[in-house]
Amino acid sequence: QIVGFAVGWESRSEVRLADLAVDPVADRPAVAGALLAYLHRAHPQAFGAHYNVAEDEPTLLAYHAAGYETRLAQIEMEWRPDGG
C-alpha cells in the first residue's frame, strides 16, 4: 500500500521537490520524514528545496524536523467569482 510519494528531481548537488504528499490516514510527519530522509541519505551533499509549500501543509513539520528552513514567505493571490 502506497501511503506517500515525492515528485521532483535529484542529483549529487540538488534534491528539488515539486510535490510531497502523504495519505491523510497515515502518520503524515513520519511518512514525509522517511521520504525526506531517504532522499538526503541517497544524496548527502545535495542542497534541498521545495517551493510554494502552503503554511497549512500537513507535511510541514517533517520538513522542519529534517532541517529545512523557511526562506521566503510568498503571497499567493486567488479570485473567486462568488466572492468567497
Number of Cβ within 10 Å of residue 35's Cβ equals 21
Question: Phi/psi class of residue 77: alpha, beta or left (left: φ > 0; alpha: ψ in -120 to 50)?
Answer: beta
The mean predicted confidence, pLDDT, of the chain is 87
pLDDT the model gives residue 77: 66
* 3-state SS, residue 62: helix
Tens digit of each residue's pLDDT (9 = 90 or more) over 35-70:
999 998 998 888 898 888 887 888 888 999 999 988
Is the pTM higher than 0.85? no
pLDDT the model gives residue 84: 62
Does residue 83 carry a pLDDT above 90?
Answer: no
Retrieve residue 12's grid coordinates.
549529487
